[in-house]
Each structure stands twice: as C-alpha cells, then as structure tokens.
A and B are shown apart, each in its own frame.
Chain A
Amino acid sequence: MPAKILVVDDEIAIRRLLRNTLERAGYIVAEAMNAREALSQAAATCPDAVLLDLGLPDRDGLGLIPLLRSGGDCVIVVVSARDATDEKVSALDLGADDYVTKPFDTEELLARLRVALRHRGAGAASSKVLTTGDLVIDRDRRVVCRGGQEVHLTRKEHDVLAVLARHVGRVVTHDRIIAAAWGVGDDPRIEYLRIVIRNLRQKLEAPGPVGSVISNELGIGYRLRGEG
C-alpha cells in the first residue's frame, strides 16, 4: 500500500511540482492550499506524511504542527523558505520530523521523506542494532563495530551515538543530544558535544571531504546518516 502524502503550500506551482515528483516516486498525493484546508484534509484522508510550508495565508505553519501531531500519527516534514535557525529548531521542537529549506533538491527531499516514513513504520525504539555503511551499532550492549572491528568508545561517545542512532537519518537538536548524554543543566555544554562529535568522527569515519557518517545541521543539531 503506497503511503499517502499531504502537500500543504499556498503556491500552486510548488504543489504541482511536488505532486509530480511524489507521484513519480509512487506516493498518493493530496493537496491543501491553506491551514484550514490542511486540517480538514488531514482529518479526512489520514495521510502518512505532511509536507508543510510555514508561510500559509491564513495562519502560521508552526502553529499547525502540534494540531497535525495530535490529529494522528503522521510524519511532518517542513518545507519552507524560512532559513533562520531558531525557526527550524522550534519546528523540530514542536514535533516536525525534518526540515527542508527552499529551494530544495527534489532528490534530497524524497530521501528525507523516505527516512522519516521508514522510521515511523519501524517505531523509534524497535531496532536495538543499527547497521549503516560499515558500522554496526548495538545500543543495548553498547558495542560499536566498524568493518567488523570493535571500536572503543568512551561513555559519553556511546551516549551521544546512541541518541543519534535512535533517530537515525533524522536531525537531532543540540539540546536534545545534550539532555540525553549529560542531563539537563544550565551549563553551556555545546563545546563538550562538539569535541565528542569530533572524536566520534575520527573513530567512525574514513577520512574524506564530504560524506561523513555524522552530518552537521547548521546551528540546529546532528544527523546520523542512515542507509538510503
């Protein structure tokens, strides 16, 4: 059964393009041009994912995220021209699964959507062992192998990697990683996080310019690259 995707955007050209792209990729597409329509469509069609523009004519898209979340178990990917980091962080905090800025690369958008949908289907905590590239991460046993070789990680490195692995393919905000690995405190621990990530990369990645296992989302957080 192909997944149902609701595209919410006030621009007809974008809706048309997205419909085109999504249908090509095998999804069933519904459209809404404003917040009111989006809510009624969401209630009527129960979509598996919503591609949400934030600049809607009748209300701010950010306010729509909690409503869509409470309405049903759907994936929300924000697609917006707004590129301020605090907007992105608040969208993620409100419950969006991912954030893609316009203009977007259609292939990248499809990839993100795929990851989000798979993640939803699998359930957040189901798979305790994650395989990505030449890495195998066993969260329960706290063992990480690279190319069959066990890699020694410190406790904090394990903690951080576990959080990223639990949300593999999705961006996890700095605050959430820090809260999971260090606990909630008022210390500015982002420096610690940077160092831990740097160490993890050295241990887990082949040296190379692009294509790291852990990618950095500017000012927002980190993402563990998942397969496909």
Chain B
Amino acid sequence: MSERANSDGRPAPEAFLRAAAQEGRGRLKIFLGAAPGVGKTFEMLSEGAARQRAGADVVIGVVETHGRRETEALTRGLEILPRRTMAHEGRTLTEMDLDALLARRPGLALVDELAHTNAPGSRHPKRYGDVEELLAAGIDVYSTVNIQHVESLNDVVASFTRVRVRETVPDSILEMAEIEVVDIPPDELIERLKEGKVYLPQEATRALSHFFSKSNLSALRELALRRAAQAVDAQMLDHLRLHALGGTWAGSERILVAVSELPGAEELVRAAKRIADAAHASWAAIHVETPRSRTLDAAAARQVATALNLAARLGATVASIPAANVVDGLTRHAADIRATQIVVGKSARSRWFELRHGSVVDRLVRGTPGVAVHVLPLAEASAAPPAWSRAAAHVPGRGWGTRAGYAWITLMVAAVTAAGSALFRVLDIGNVGLLYLLPVMAAASLFGLRPGLYAGILSSLAYNFFFLPPTLTLTVSNPENIISIFVLLGVAIVTSQLTARVRAQADLAAISARTNAALAGYLRQLTRLSDPLEVARVACTRLSELLGVRVVMLERTGAGLTVQGESEAGACLETMELAAAQWVWDTGQPAGRGTGTLTASDWQFQPLQAGERMLAVLGFARDDGGDPVRSDRMTLLGSLLEQTALVLQRLRLESEMRDVDAVRERDRLRVALLSSVSHDLRTPLTSVLAAAAELRRRGEDPLVATIESEALRLNRFVANLLDMARVEAGALKFNMEAIDLSDAVTGAAHDARRALEGHAVRLDVPPNLPLVRADPQLLHHCLLNLLDNAGRYGDPGTEIVIEGRHLFGQVHLAVLDRGLGLPAGREAEVFETFRRLEGSDRAVGGTGLGLAIVKAFAEAMGLAVQAGNRQDCRGAVFTLLFPPSSIVRDIAPEGDI
C-alpha cells in the first residue's frame, strides 16, 4: 500500500488510479468550520448561487437554515428538493430524499451537515454515505462540516473542549474533497453568539456555552486551518505523483499500531492516523490474538472489533494475527510489512504484572531494531477492570482449578506421605522430601499454578508434620529443611509456568491447525465438484457449519440476482435484503448488518470476486438476529471467501473454455465444408472447361464457345458464393501487405480477360501512385468483380478505364464503363446482396453477388467503396477508396533500392 514515488520519474500508479477514480465522479467541496455559527451554510449557499448564475444546474438537497434570515434569503433563488418523511417509533422524521436527488441529476447538489446521522431505515446510516453515492453518480456536491466531526481529530477536540460529538466523518471523505475553511475571528463568533445569531439546540445550550470560550475557539480554528492545509498538501502530493514532478517527500514510512482490548484503543488508532498523516505514510492496525485474548468476553472482543473498524475507516490496512504473545506477533508483523514506526499504548498495568512479565515495551524495543516505537498513555483502566482478570477463571494454568483437582492433590499428598512413612526406614530424610516433588509437579502440570502452589504448601506441611523433627509438630528445627519447603514451592511455580506455556503453544497450534484443516477440507470438497449449482449448495452448507450462521449464495441470472444455494431451505430474502445484495453486486463492497451500508438488513452480504469480475454474493445471517460474523472469525471468513471465489472462477473459466471449444469446432467444420465444396465444385468445372477447350481446338462449333463461357460464369459464381460464405463466417484470414496497385490492376485485368472480351481496357495508373496496404487476394477478388461488372454492363465495344489517383491523402482506384449507368439516387443499393437494379436486368446475366462481395471485402480490409455515374452520365463509376492509414509512406532511402 505504499505510495512510494518512483525514483525514475514515472508517475506513481496509485496517483493515476486515484485520478482515474475521479474521472466521471462528481467533485466534492467541503466548507470546513471551526465551530457552529461561523457561516458555513451561508458560504455554501452563496457559492451555490454564484454557480447557478454561472449557468450550473444547482439543487438544494438539504439545508438547515435554523431560521436565520440572511441564510434563508439565499435559498430563495435555488431549487429545493422536498424532503422525504419517515415514521420512526411514532415520530415523523425528515431526511434528504436521496433517490429523488439521484433521479433529478443536478450538476451540483448542496447537502448541508455532512456528519448528520440518518434516520433508522435509511440506505446509509450517515449522510456522508448519501454524498458518496451522489459523487459516484457524477453529481458535484457542496457540503459543510465542523472540525470536531472529523474522525481523526475527534478526541483531540474532546480533550480540550470536554464535549465529545458522536457524529463523525471519516478522514477519507475529506481527503478526496476540496476544502474551503470558513473562518471568522473568535471574538466575532462570540459576539454573534451573544447576539443570538448562532443556533444551538435548547438542551445543549449550557454544555455548549463552555465550548465557545475564546481559548477553545482559537484552538478549534487552528485545527481547522491545519486540517485544510493538510488537505492541500495531500492534493499537491497527488499532483506531484501524477505528473512525476520529482519533488521530495518522505520515503516509504509505514506505521503499525497495535490494538488491544483495553479501553483507549480507539484513541490509539486516531493517534496513529495523525502520525501516519504527518509522515505521509501508509499505516496498518493489527490485533494480536494471544491465547489469553481468545478467552476475552464479548464486550472486550467488540472493543477490539470497534477499534479495528475505526482504523479501517481511517484508511489503515487491518489484520488480526495469531501469536503466542503480543510482542512476538508485533515484531513478526512489523518485519513482514517492513514497518518503520510502531505505535503502542502504555497500559496502566500493575508493577507486579511488569515484574512477572517484563515490560512489553522493553521487549518490543529490543525485538525491533531500527524501528521507532511510540508509547502513548492509555486512559485509566479503572472505569472497567481489565478484561483479562475477569476472564481469568477460564484460563488453563492461571485459574483456581476445580474442586476435583484439589481432592486429587490431597489424595496424592496423602499417598506420598503414606509411602514415605513406609519407606522412612530405608530412605534418608532428604530423599523423602524429594518424593513430595511428585505430587507438586503433577498438580502444577495437570491443574495449573494455584493448585500447584496448594500441592507445594500441602506437601511441605505434611513433610514438616510427619517427617521433620520434631515430628508431629509444625515447627522446624533445622534451617536446611526450610530450604526444602521453598524448593517444593518453587518447583510448583516453575512447573506450572512451563506447562502453561507449552499448553498455550499447543492450543495455538491446534487452533491454527483447525483453521487450516477447515480451509483445506472446504477447498477439497469444493474442487471435487464440477456443477456450479452443486458448488453453491455445498459451499453454503459448509460455510454454515464452519461459521455457525445461515448462508445463501446469489448469482446473476437472466432475472437479476437469484439464490443459487442456501444452507437451510426456505431462506426468504426480503426486498431490503435483495437491495443490499444488489448493492454488493454493483459496488463490490460488503453491505448489510455489521457493515457500514444498509445496516437495517438482518443479513450481511459479502462479494465473491476474482479481480474486477463479480462472481457471486454470499449472504450470512444469525437466527438470533445478532451480528452474522464474529470479529474474530473475520480472517477465517476472508480466507473462505477467497477460496470460494477461486473455485467459482475455475468453474466459470472451464465453462467459457467449453464454449470456446464449441465455437472453434463449429468454425473448423465450416472451413472444412467450404474447402470441400470448393474442391467438389471446381473439379467438375475443370473437366468441363478442359473438355470444351479440347473440342474448340478440334472444330469451330459455336456451341462449344457457349459451354466454355457458361462454365466460366459458373466458376465465377462458385468463387463468389464461396467468398461470400467466408466473409459471413468471419473465416477470412487477412494477409495485409504492401501492394503496387498497377500490379494488382494488371493481374486482375489479365484474369478477367474473358469477361472483358469485346472491350478495350485502358489502365490509367500513374507510376508514382503510392503503395497501399491490403490483402492481395481480397483486393484481386474485388477488382475481378468490378471488372466483371463493367464488362457485363458496359456497352459492347466501349472502353473500360481503370484509373488510379492520389487525392487529398486518399488513393482512389476507379473502374469506369460506358453504358446506361446506375439509376440516379439509388447508387448505393447496388451493393446489397442479390440486388440487380431494375432496368439493368438485361440479358447480361449476373448473380447480384459480385458487388456485395466487393463491398464486404473492401470494408473487411478497411477500405470504402462508392458507386456513382460518370460526369457525363453515360456509364457507371465504381471507386475503391484507400484511406490515409492504408497508404504506405516513407519507402526506403534511395541507396537501399
């Protein structure tokens, strides 16, 4: 994803792509204000009115005038689109009528309050979704937004104003827009506020009045100006990249931010976005799935998902990667994507935690040489206790263990004590102590740390009580024995830690093996199938098993998107669902529940595509109506979608291949038929002609001449039929080469000499006529037919002229005869198949095919052909026109010839 500039001065591909994406799209201009009341709407309306005066088609999509008179006055000259009213929970809400606006297709739409949240049930949850669609439809949009609504600045603003707004606009929207800052000095704004010129909702007045302190306004103003400057910067960079102006900008910086379930992850993401922006770097956000994080409760998992979603909205690449621990995962991923900077949060962990685990940051810094590590303070965790402690009970090696476990441990210690007392006579007292290692290690490895510690304490008590002198008391006389007690406890701790780690690794391996096995099994099952419907059915069933949701697959058929396969029969998609699926098919973006578009649908739809080509749409839904795909299954889902797309793509290609084979077979048959017809018709003709020639040699019988001329006509007719069949079958092979027209004309006149008998033929082709590029065989056939035609329709004894001219960059080759000519006004009709114009239907005999072939061949070679009458109207002219592109120029230097 890097936008590295090419050092060789070629435009960077990304900049081109972005420019290409802009082509045909509407342009967005955002009026950015530091605070409410600066006059954004006023400014937008004035510019809209100015554009209208300049001739643009301007429509107000939605504008909030808040009853301000000056603003309202501005709307008067403009067309205002009526709003759509929707009923929601007993209230009537009005929203911008997106569909009406799209249907109206103005040149420019004015859409106030970009950050506005749409009423439930609207197509897009946020108004910027509507604007996005308007832009995609090629409509220019003017919109307004306040700086505190900008996603990446949201918490910066909140930090000093102590007012957090929920409605945010993704930075990506600002990045593609032209930004105009609507700026007034803070004093003036406060003045306006006092005069009551600033609209504030009644209930928020008190909270907001703090907002309008002079220091806050100055800070907001600075932010707005900086953001606008940044946008200008980004646009200039795009320009530089597109035109490869060779400016200097930061090289390939890559920022990696680690997201955890701890509160404050979102602030971390926003901070990373700011760092990435400042460095003009691409950035990625990852969540490291450790064995511990797998046990997080739903709330913590949602926290991670929210942070990752936010990062994706802010333009990061997002991934969730499994690893044994956070540091391992981070260092590995940082190396993979060649990150240059890592952003992590410093959690408010206890000193005790750091002593036991070492500081994550320290290990990270040591593990990633050459990488800058930013450590940002995270919000206090006091509000919500860290998720891991709540979930700790389920973690193997960390929990308190089960009651049965303790019973077993007690039993084992008792057994060892009994065995010890039995062996006490043969064993040294120290060796009896060693016996207690057995229950301790067993407990620590089987049940975890705490049961292990319990075993250690119980063992040392038993050892002390039953074996250490003075026996049957808990006092210890010999200090050496105290050491053995500590050894037992130490063994318990170390063993349980080691076991826990081994078990965690094993779990991790098992999970990844399960995922891989699921994927492999899925792929194996699908690749065995060859019927698309079967694939759809099996894919749905298996996906449903793997993800635990209902699955449907839709594909485009003649009647729009239809269900091709489903995991449970009878899945009924409502209009809303079908609309969402259609949206996915059209845009290639996911939609439905759990995505950013058409969220009111119960289903989530994901595209299956191969490259740019849409193959199918997959829909997922839970029976309980929850989010169809859990955030931790997103990676798995991604792989599954990819595999399914591959299988579908393979099937698609195979079926296309079969189609191509069928066409090829048909063509082969046609060519075979043509060549066999040509052989079978020509062979008898050859015999007839040769026999006639022999007869003619022997005696002068006029009947023989008739046989000969009729056989020749038949031959010409056969040739024309075959040529026509070849043209119509598209089976003609072109062999374009440079041709000297005088050559071509001489050859054609020679071959048509029989048809031209009784006519004088004059070739008028200047020696300096340029060479032209054509297929010699096709051109020959054209000329033969033209000469044949001239010989037939020219009055007997008249001259037939073949004339070549180089006029106005074109080469004209004309065949002129003397005769009746063509009926005026119907010249072009002579080229129609089997058409012989009335009045020319003399006893000359023609097939009506020859001129159609001339036209077909000429056009196939890129030439034009014209029919007309000679200037004196006594005879027809047929002209072949060679366009400039077919004329061969720049023949070799003289020395080469």
Contact = CB atoms under 8 A, between A and B. Distances in A.
A45 interface: no
Nearest to A86: B735
A21 interface: yes
Contacts of B675: 82
A219 B738 contact: no
B635 to A, nearest CB: 54
B780 interface: yes
B888 interface: yes
B738 A190 contact: yes
Interface in B679-696: 679, 682-691, 693-694
Given A194-B739, A194-B771, A196-B897, A17 B687 contact: yes
B347 interface: no
B896 A156 contact: yes
B107 interface: no
Interface string A183-207: 0000011111011111101100000
Contacts of A199: 897
B762 interface: yes
Interface string B691-707: 10110000000000000
A197 B739 CA distance: 11
What is the size category of the interface that chain A forms with chain B? 35 or more
Contacts of B689: 103-105
Contact of B682 (A102, A189, A197): A102
Interface stretch (A27-35, A66-74, A116-124, A210-218): A210-218
Given A20-B694, A21-B694, A218-B780, A191 B686 contact: no
A189 B737 CA distance: 10
A134 interface: no
A195 B771 contact: yes
A217 to B, nearest CB: 8
A171 B687 CA distance: 25
Nearest to B748: A218
B762 A85 contact: no
Contacts of A103: 682, 685-686, 688-690, 711, 715
A216 B891 contact: no
A191 B735 contact: no
Contacts of A86: 735
Nearest to B690: A17
A81 interface: yes
Contacts of B747: 215-216, 218
B740 A13 contact: no
A197 B762 contact: no
A226 interface: no
Given A192-B891, A218-B747, A218-B780, A198 B737 contact: no
Interface string B853-897: 000000000000000000000000000000000001001100011
Contact of A198 (B693, B694, B740): B740
Interface in A1-43: 11, 13-14, 17-18, 20-21
Nearest to A160: B897
A102 B753 CA distance: 17
B737 A219 contact: yes
Given A194-B740, A218-B780, A17 B897 contact: no
A201 to B, nearest CB: 8
Interface in B734-792: 735, 737-740, 742-744, 746-747, 749-750, 753, 761-763, 767, 771, 775-777, 780
A182 B892 CA distance: 12
A189 B771 CA distance: 13
Interface in B646-676: 675
B762 A209 contact: yes
B678 interface: yes
Interface string B826-866: 00000000000000000000000000000000000000000
A195 B891 contact: yes
A197 B740 contact: yes
A227 interface: no
A107 interface: yes
Nearest to B712: A103
A81 B686 contact: yes
Contacts of A83: 678, 777
What is the size category of the interface that chain B forms with chain A? 35 or more
A156 B897 contact: yes
Contacts of A191: 738, 771, 888, 891-892
Contact of A218 (B711, B715, B776, B888): B776
A227 to B, nearest CB: 19
A55 interface: yes
A18 B691 CA distance: 10
Nearest to B753: A210
Contacts of B777: 83-85, 218-219
Nearest to A16: B687
A191 to B, nearest CB: 4
A127 interface: no
A191 B684 CA distance: 39
B685 A17 contact: no
Contacts of B679: 55, 81-82
Contact of B746 (A17, A84, A216): A216
Question: Which of A85, A86, A188, A199 has the most chain B CB atoms closer than 10 A to its own CB?
Answer: A85
A153 to B, nearest CB: 11
Contacts of A156: 896-897
A199 B897 CA distance: 10
Interface in B626-662: none
B374 to A, nearest CB: 61
A81 B678 contact: yes
Interface string A47-91: 000000001000000000000000000000000011111100000
A55 B676 CA distance: 10
Nearest to B681: A81
B697 to A, nearest CB: 8
A102 B892 contact: no
Given A197-B740, A210-B750, A219-B776, A81 B683 contact: yes
A202 B767 contact: yes
A182 B739 CA distance: 19
A11 B685 CA distance: 12
B148 to A, nearest CB: 69
A215 B780 CA distance: 14
B741 to A, nearest CB: 10
Nearest to A10: B683
A17 B761 CA distance: 33
Contacts of A209: 746, 749, 761-763
Contact of B686 (A102, A182, A212): A102
B813 to A, nearest CB: 15
Contacts of B684: 13
Contacts of A192: 891-892, 896-897
B746 A81 contact: no
A197 B682 CA distance: 33
A195 B770 CA distance: 9
A43 B575 CA distance: 84
A62 to B, nearest CB: 14
Nearest to B718: A103
A106 B695 CA distance: 12
Interface in B558-606: none
13 contacts: A11-B687, A55-B679, A83-B678, A85-B735, A102-B682, A102-B686, A103-B685, A105-B689, A105-B693, A192-B897, A210-B761, A216-B740, A218-B780
Interface of B: 675, 678-679, 682-691, 693-694, 711, 715, 735, 737-740, 742-744, 746-747, 749-750, 753, 761-763, 767, 771, 775-777, 780, 888, 891-892, 896-897
Identify the 6 closest CB pairs spanning chains A and B, nearest first. Answer: A13-B687, A103-B686, A219-B776, A81-B682, A102-B686, A216-B743
Interface of A: 11, 13-14, 17-18, 20-21, 55, 81-86, 102-107, 154, 156-157, 182, 188-192, 194-199, 201-202, 209-210, 212, 215-216, 218-219
Given A106-B693, A156-B896, 8 more contacts: A17-B690, A103-B685, A104-B690, A189-B892, A198-B743, A215-B750, A218-B780, A219-B776
